[in-house]
Amino acid sequence: MAPTGDFAITWLGHSTFTLATPGGKRVLIDPWVGGNPACPEEAKSFDALDLMLITHAHFDHMGDAVPLAQAHTPQVVAIFEICQWLEGKGVANCNPMGKSGTIEVDGLKVTMVEAQHSAGLLDDDDGRLIYGGEPAGLILGLETGLRVYHAGDTGVFSDMGLIRELYEPAVVLLPIGDRFTMGPREAAYACDLLKPKVVIPMHYGTFPLLTGTPEEFQKLVADKDVEVVVLAPGETHTISGGTL
C-alpha cells in the first residue's frame, strides 16, 4: 500500500526547497542556504537529509552541496558532470544521470528533463569557470504517485508540452525573476503548456536584477485553471494525503 501521509514543501528562498514526502523522506532541492540572502537563519541547518537534488552547476543552486552532503550523507542526484565534481570533493552516494533518464532512489523516482539556461563551476584553485554539464529540470515522483517538477533556471520552451504529456506534473516550481530565467509573462505561458494543478513561483526577489514579481505572475494566470501558491521564505505548503 502506498503511503498516505501529507506532502509538505518549504521554500527557502531563491530556488531552494525542502520536501517532506508522504513516506517520510526528507528532500533538499538546489542546496544554497549559507550565502542565500533570502533564506531564514533558522532554516540554514538540517536535522537530516535523505535525498539531495541539483538542477545545474551554478553557485546559487549548489553552493552548499558539498558541506551538506558530507554532514548528512544523503543520496545525491545530479547530471553526470556535477556528480563527478562532487565525488572529487569527497561526496559519497552520488547518482549521476542524464536528460530523459529516470532513476529510483529510496522509493522516489527522479526524472531529468530539459532546461534552457547555462551551467558552470568555479574552480577552487584559481577561480576559473569550468564545465559543469548541462542545466536540467527535475521531476520527483512521490510515493503516492504525485509528481513535482522543479524547472531549474530555464526559459519557456515548447517541449514543456511534451513534459506534460509524458509526466503530468501536478505541482510545478517555476522561475519568474526574469533576466536570467523566465519572467512572469513567459512563466504564465509555461502554465499553458504544463497545465499543472499547483504552481509555486521561485527565483525572484533575491537580488535587485531579478525584477519579476509574483503579483505580476498572478495577474497573468488569473484566467487559468491553476492554483498559485506564493510562499514567503521559510513558509510551507502542505498537500493533505500527498495527492491532488
| CATH architecture of the region 7-237 | 4-Layer Sandwich (3.60)
SS3 content of the chain, % helix, strand, coil (to 5): 20, 25, 50
Q: What is the dihedral of CA 156, 169, 240, 228, to 10 degrees?
A: 20
Are residues 52 and 16 in contact, defined by beta-carbon separation less than 8 angstroms?
no
Q: Which of 154, 126, 146 minimizes the C-alpha distance to 198?
A: 146
Q: Which of 77, 56, 43, 39 minimizes the C-alpha distance to 151?
A: 56
Per domain, the residue ranges of the chain are 7-237
Q: What is the dihedral of CA 167, 98, 199, 161, to 10 degrees?
A: -50
Give the model confidence (pLDDT) of 20-79 as tens digits. 999 999 999 999 999 999 999 999 999 999 999 999 999 999 999 999 999 999 999 999
Alpha-carbon separation of residue 131 from 23, 38, 126, 180, 208 (angstroms): 36, 27, 14, 19, 27
Q: What is the pLDDT of residue 2?
A: 55
Q: Average the pLDDT over 131-137 and give the result.
A: 97
Give the model confidence (pLDDT) of 138-174 as tens digits. 999 999 999 999 999 999 999 999 999 999 999 999 9
Look at residue 1 and tell me whether its pLDDT is greater than 50. no
Look at residue 117 and tell me whether its pLDDT is greater than 50. yes
